[in-house]
Amino acid sequence: MENRDLTIVTQDGTEILCEVLFTNYSEQFNKHYLVFVQKGTDNASAAIFDPNETENTKLQDIETEEEWAYLEDLLEKFIAKQEGCSGECAGCQEDCESRFDEEDLD
C-alpha cells in the first residue's frame, strides 16, 4: 500500500486522520481487514473494507469476538516484526516497513 494515510469521517461529520498499518484478507472469515492507528496515538483499531472500492470506501464494524481475536493476533505479529528491526536492516539498507510482507502474518 503506497499511501498509508486514511481519513475516517464519523456519522456526525468529524474527520479523523489515521495511518494504515496493514491490510489482510482472511480466508477463515472471507473478509478484508484494514488495521490502522489514529495519527498521534498508539491506539490501533480495525475495520472490514472492500478492496474493490477505490474512493470513499465505507468501513464496516468488526462483527465477532473471533474476528477481534484474529486481528489482535495479527497486530501482535506486526508489532513484533517491527520491533525486530532497528530502522535500517542489515544487508538490505531499507526501512523495515518497506520489507513488511502481510502474508507473513498468517
What pLDDT shows up at residue 105? 53
Instruction: Quickly tell me which residue has 465505507 as its cell.
Output: 58
Contact between residue 92 and residue 85 where contact means Cβ atoms under 8 Å apart: no
C-alpha cell at 58: 465505507
How far apart (Å, rounded) are the C-alpha atoms in residues 29 and 46? 14
66-80 pLDDT, tens digit each = 999 999 999 999 988
Distance of alpha carbon 10 from the chain centroid = 19
Q: Is 104 helix (H, G, I), strand (E, B) or coil?
A: helix
What pLDDT shows up at residue 98? 38
How far apart (Å, rounded) are the C-alpha atoms in residues 1 and 20? 9
Averaged pLDDT in 10-residue chunks for the chain of 106 residues: 80 93 95 94 93 84 95 92 63 41 49
